């Protein structure tokens, strides 16, 4: 009999800086209500120059892993479209600073915002095969936006990392093996063609997202025949969230497969089934591949009506493109176990930047992109490093020395 496979723990690192959307709207001459009500974003997370996707990944993982976990992780997959080196995988730094066993297969994958789900499904397959011999897998998603001053999509950017511990002893959700639908289509919607450029056609990307959702869900229905009643089959629904408003559009599209609802009825259904997943994402902005896992953790924490065995649908989309629609089942103690997470307090502890400070941070990061020797840690932002990092035991990026990245504990 195949052992169950699922998620034991999810850890999130929401960064240490924030930017208020009303402040950014005032600086850009934009209506705050559009961002709050249409895009469903209130704040966005930002990294100081002394943090990067490596530090975020390690700091997210350290919120959940104990010594017993560290000794049993034999597969580490890091998903990111914000890679810091054109050759060396971030996963090796992460393996080192988490002090994982050397008998650990590790690699980095890139597939836009689908990368985390791709890594997750590879880890699930390995665990389900029985070849893991009761070892565990760690999948980490970690990304940060680049500078987009004055662009229409500047409001939906963000940063963050999620660490997902998987094993044959799931405590949060169990995967329904084989209950997957997937869809792929080559399209050049969004791209990062150089070390400093992040560009594309946002309208094309939104259309591709919706096409991928329809295609992946149709494939899911072909493979999972009992799942014809979307409303009854799933207790809750999680969607890839480049911004909250996209999850609302996605949910409304899938509603049409089972019933015609008025706009008010549709919104009420969204609030009941999916909106709770956006609680922290509204404060972080786009978290790229992390959004579905942050949404899942938030949903389990926020919803009192999720019982053992209840199904939760998960939808992941990545530009380029590939998408997957799959289902998980809530474990008996999931709601209780996630109550102790620290996302809310960490979000509250961020330093709120002025628009001028935000622009200065992003400009300095861009200016240093191809520099080979520099110190990243300084006394900027009113001594934020000394106030928030010094002595806290967080991993920080110290800078470059002869083009080699330097990391250390704060």
- Low-confidence residues in the chain, pLDDT < 70: 1
Residue 75 CA, chain-centre distance (Å), reads 19
> What are the pLDDT digits (tens) for 96-142?
999 999 999 999 999 999 999 999 999 999 999 999 889 999 999 99
Catalytic residue among 15, 104, 113, 322: 113
Are 333 and 373 contained in the same domain?
A: no
Are 401 and 367 contained in the same domain?
A: yes
- Domain finish residue from 319, 340, 361: 340
Are 155 and 180 contained in the same domain?
A: no
Residue 81 annotated among the catalytic residues of the structure? yes
Are 278 and 380 contained in the same domain?
A: no
Are 182 and 321 contained in the same domain?
A: yes
- Is residue 373 a part of any domain in this protein? yes
DSSP 42-85: SEEEE--TT--HHHHHHHHHTTT--HHHHHHEEEEEEE-S--S-
- Domain finish residue from 321, 340, 359: 340
pLDDT at 152: 87
Residues 76 and 62: their CA atoms lie apart, in Å, by 14
Domain span at residue 191 reads: 175-340
Are 321 and 403 contained in the same domain?
A: no
pLDDT at 314: 98
Pick from 315, 247, 311, 235: which is nearest to 277 by CA? 247
- Is residue 214 a part of any domain in this protein? yes
Are 72 and 37 contained in the same domain?
A: yes
- Is residue 50 a part of any domain in this protein? yes
Are 329 and 375 contained in the same domain?
A: no
Residue 373 CB neighbour total at 10 angstroms: 10
- Domain finish residue from 312, 340, 368: 340
Residues 324 and 404: their CA atoms lie apart, in Å, by 37
Residues 102 and 58: their CA atoms lie apart, in Å, by 17
- Quote the number of domains for the chain: 2
Tell me the helices (H) and strands (E) count for the chain, helix number first: 16, 17
Catalytic residue among 81, 174, 214, 362: 81
Are 332 and 395 contained in the same domain?
A: no
Are 73 and 209 contained in the same domain?
A: no
Residue 25 annotated among the catalytic residues of the structure? no
Are 260 and 306 contained in the same domain?
A: yes
Residue 407 CB neighbour total at 10 angstroms: 17
- Is residue 209 a part of any domain in this protein? yes
Contact assessment for residue 305 and residue 37, using Cβ atoms and an 8 Å cutoff:
no
pLDDT at 198: 83
Are 189 and 61 contained in the same domain?
A: no
Cβ neighbours of residue 7 closer than 8 Å, sequence gap 6 or more: 164, 165, 166, 170, 171, 172, 173, 296, 328
pLDDT at 1: 57
71: domain CATH number is 3.40.47.10
The values of phi and psi at residue 110, to 5°, are -130, 120
Whether residue 246 has a cis bond before it, omega within 30° of 0: no
**pTM > 0.85:** yes
Residue 362 annotated among the catalytic residues of the structure? no
pLDDT at 259: 81
| CA-based max dimension of the chain | 62
Contact assessment for residue 378 and residue 385, using Cβ atoms and an 8 Å cutoff:
yes
Q: Are strands 311-318 and 404-409 parallel, antiparallel or unpaired?
A: unpaired
Catalytic residue among 104, 214, 240, 322: 240
- Is residue 1 a part of any domain in this protein? no
């Amino acid at each position: 009999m195949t052992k169950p496979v699922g998620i034991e723990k999810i850890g999130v690192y929401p960064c240490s800086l924030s930017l208020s959307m009303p402040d950014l709207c005032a600086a850009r001459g934009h209506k705050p209500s559009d961002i709050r009500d249409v895009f469903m974003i209130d704040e966005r997370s930002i990294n100081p120059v002394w943090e990067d996707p490596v530090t975020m990944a390690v700091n997210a993982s350290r919120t959940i892993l104990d010594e017993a976990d560290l000794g049993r992780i034999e597969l580490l997959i890091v998903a990111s479209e914000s890679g810091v080196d054109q050759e060396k995988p971030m996963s090796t730094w992460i393996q080192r600073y988490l002090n994982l066993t050397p008998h650990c297969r590790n690699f980095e994958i890139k597939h836009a915002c689908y990368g985390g789900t791709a890594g997750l499904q590879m880890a699930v397959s390995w665990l389900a095969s029985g070849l893991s011999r009761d070892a565990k897998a760690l999948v980490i998603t970690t990304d940060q936006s680049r500078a987009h001053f004055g662009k229409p999509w500047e409001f939906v950017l963000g940063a963050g990392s999620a660490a997902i511990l998987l094993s044959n002893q799931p405590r949060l959700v169990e995967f329904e093996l084989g209950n997957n639908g997937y869809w792929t289509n080559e399209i050049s919607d969004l791209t990062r063609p150089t070390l400093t450029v992040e560009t594309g056609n946002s309208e094309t990307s939104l259309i591709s997202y919706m096409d991928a959702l329809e295609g992946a869900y149709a494939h899911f229905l072909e493979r999972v025949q009992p799942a014809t009643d979307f409303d009854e089959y799933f207790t809750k629904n999680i969607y890839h969230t480049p911004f909250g408003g996209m999850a609302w559009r996605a949910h409304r599209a899938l509603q049409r497969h089972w019933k015609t609802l008025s706009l008010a009825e549709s919104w009420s259904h969204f609030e009941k089934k999916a909106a709770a997943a956006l609680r922290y994402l509204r404060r972080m902005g786009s978290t790229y591949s992390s959004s579905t896992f942050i949404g899942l953790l938030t949903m389990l924490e926020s919803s009192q009506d999720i019982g053992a065995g209840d199904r939760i649908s998960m939808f992941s989309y990545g530009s380029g493109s590939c998408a997957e629609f799959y289902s998980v089942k809530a474990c008996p103690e999931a709601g209780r176990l996630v109550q102790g997470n620290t996302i809310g307090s960490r979000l509250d502890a961020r330093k709120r930047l002025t628009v001028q400070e935000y622009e200065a941070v992003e400009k300095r990061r861009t200016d240093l992109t191809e520099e080979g020797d520099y110190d990243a840690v300084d006394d900027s932002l009113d001594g934020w490093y000394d106030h928030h990092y010094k002595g806290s035991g967080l991993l920080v990026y110290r800078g470059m020395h002869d083009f080699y990245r330097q990391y250390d504990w704060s």
